[in-house]
Amino acid sequence: MKDSLTIKKIPCLDLKGQHEQIKNEIFEAFEKVYANTAFSGGPFVEEFENSFAKYCGTKYAVGVNNGTSALHLAMLALKIGVGDEVIVPANTFIATAWGVSYTGATPVFVDCDPLTWEIDVTKIEEKITPKTKAIIGVHLYGMPFDIDAIKAICTKYNLFLLEDAAQAQGARYKGVNVGGFGEMACFSFYPGKNLGACGEAGGIVTNNEFYNKHLHSLRNHGSTVRYYHDEIGYNMRMGGLEGASLSVKLKYLEDWNGRRRTIANRYQNEITNTKIKMQLQPDWADSIFHLFVVTVEDREHFINYLNTQNIFPGLHYPVPCHLQKAYAYLGYKAGDLPNAEYLANHCVSLPMYAELGDDEVRCVIDAINNF
């Protein structure tokens, strides 16, 4: 921690501190990959898959090239395609919906709850039609969604449940690590995630042997025996260097998540400015605070003010999925999903990463309280 250092700019995320700490270990791991020329898939990916499945409490983990591919392959494994509909929260990163669209199916966006900012469970059933095949819940900003409530809807309508856990490696729902609650859970290991590779990577975890086998084949050109292709497949393997870096970092994840929880706790307790609203954290949710998002009425003024204090927050996400140009063909209009739209127009992501020093946290809190 950098408590005694002079405070300079405080960004929303800074990856340098983490990578300085573990540089030697990562480079040693890279040397092993290099010595084995195991660059695509192979033992270093398998080692990570085994330890990550164990960490999530699932039987299987399948490493892929990024979280978007994980969602795409999960949709394919569920046999979702043209003519099908999948329920997706409007307040999420757009990739949650991409996997649905890649298969030719239609994402059906649902508004978020005004307090938890996650999918509004009470608004799901009105969107279900005979074409609906699945619900994708998103553990948004690292906070688990209300899994039991959504599972109950899935059971009632015979729908698949998929967890988009891209932002939630190590988050717990009612004390249990996320990943094993639905048919599959998709993770991103993008470098900026709480568990991020040195490169692009993603993964799918599942307890289902059939999905596991199918996903292995799909990510590898639809093949289980070399040069024999059972179906149209993809090249979505995880790289060896990425797998090796993830195995190193997984050992630190609990500590890093713990530090984020401490910082979040301070923000929650010490930010007393009533202009700032925070995400409600229900009792059952143990967030890993991938992002610490707040809302404020006069966002532009707030951000400009923070910038004068050398604090540079982020925006996650400035346009809700249903109003993205890419989805104009679905015909949504402004006002359709008002809570998600409010979030998009008022959200601000405060600095959040494990290496943020106590003095920097103090600085952010004081600046916000003086706004």
Q: Compute the distance between CA of residue 72 and CA of residue 25 in angstroms, rounded to an integer.
A: 32
Residue from the set 58, 96, 106, 339 that interacts with ligand PLP by CB under 6 A: 96
Distance CA 329, CA 25 (A): 48
- We find the least distance from the C-beta atom of residue 138 to ligand PLP, in angstroms, to be 5
Bin 3: left if φ > 0, else alpha if -120 < ψ < 50, else beta: alpha
67 binds ligand PLP (CB under 6 A): yes
Which range, of 36-44, 90-98, 103-111, 249-257, touches ligand PLP by CB under 6 A?
90-98
DSSP class per residue in 103-125 = TT-EEEEEPBPTTT-SB-GGGTG
CA dihedral 36, 39, 44, 46 (to 10 degrees): -130
Find the binder of ligand PLP among 10, 166, 218, 368 (CB under 6 A): 166
Q: Considering the rule CB under 6 A, would residue 302 count as an interface residue with ligand PLP?
A: no
- Closest Cα partner for 14 from 356, 294, 303, 329? 356
Report residue 283: phi and psi, to 5°: -55, -35
Q: Sign of torsion, CA 170 174 176 178?
A: negative
* Nearer to ligand PLP (CB atom), residue 199 or residue 357: 199
Sign of the Cα torsion 129, 133, 135, 136 reads: negative
Q: Which of residues 171-210 bind ligand PLP (CB under 6 A)?
A: 188, 190, 202
Contact between 167 and ligand PLP per CB under 6 A: yes
In the complex, minimum distance from the CB of residue 75 to ligand PLP, in angstroms, rounded to a whole number: 12
- Under a CB-based contact definition with an 8 Å cutoff, are residues 171 and 165 in contact? yes
Pick from 61, 138, 171, 271: which binds ligand PLP (CB under 6 A)?
Answer: 138
Kindly state the smallest distance separating residue 273's Cβ from ligand PLP, in Å: 28
Q: Is 239 in the site for ligand PLP (CB under 6 A)?
A: no
Query: Site size for ligand PLP, by CB under 6 A?
Result: 14
Residue recorded with tokens 């990916």: 45
With contact defined as beta carbons under 8 Å apart, do 296 and 275 qualify? yes
By the rule CB under 6 A, 245 interacts with ligand PLP: no
- Does 295 engage in binding with ligand PLP (CB under 6 A)? no
Cβ neighbours, 10 Å, residue 341: 20
Q: Which residue's beta carbon is nearest to the bound ligand PLP?
A: 67
Distance in Å, CB of 54 to ligand PLP, minimum: 22
CB nearer to ligand PLP: pick between 66 and 247: 66
CB nearer to ligand PLP: give 92 or 103. 92
Binds ligand PLP by CB under 6 A, chosen from 44, 48, 52, 93: 93
Which residue of 91, 92, 169, 257 would you call a contact of ligand PLP, by CB under 6 A? 92
Q: Which helix (H) or strand (E) covers residue 250, if one does? A: helix 240-250
> Which part of the chain contacts ligand PLP (CB under 6 A), choosing from 42-50, 162-170, 219-227, 353-361?
162-170
Stretch that binds ligand PLP, among 92-100, 106-114, 209-217, 269-277 (CB under 6 A): 92-100
Report the residue from 33, 73, 95, 337 that binds ligand PLP according to the rule CB under 6 A: 95
Name the nearest CA neighbour of 80 among 168, 161, 145, 201. 161
Min CB(307)–ligand PLP separation in Å: 24
Burial status of residue 126 (CB atoms within 10 A of its CB: 0-12, 13-18, 19 or more): exposed
Contact assessment for residue 154 and residue 135, using Cβ atoms and an 8 Å cutoff: yes
Phi, psi at 278, each rounded to 5°? -115, 160
Which residues ranging from 7 to 66 are in contact with ligand PLP (CB under 6 A)? 66
117 binds ligand PLP (CB under 6 A): no
Closest separation in Å from C-beta 167 to ligand PLP: 5
75 interacts with ligand PLP by CB under 6 A: no
Q: Closest distance between ligand PLP and the C-beta of residue 14, in Å?
A: 17
The label of the residue with tokens 């994402």 reads 107
* Residues in touch with ligand PLP (CB under 6 A): 66-68, 92-93, 95-96, 138, 164, 166-167, 188, 190, 202
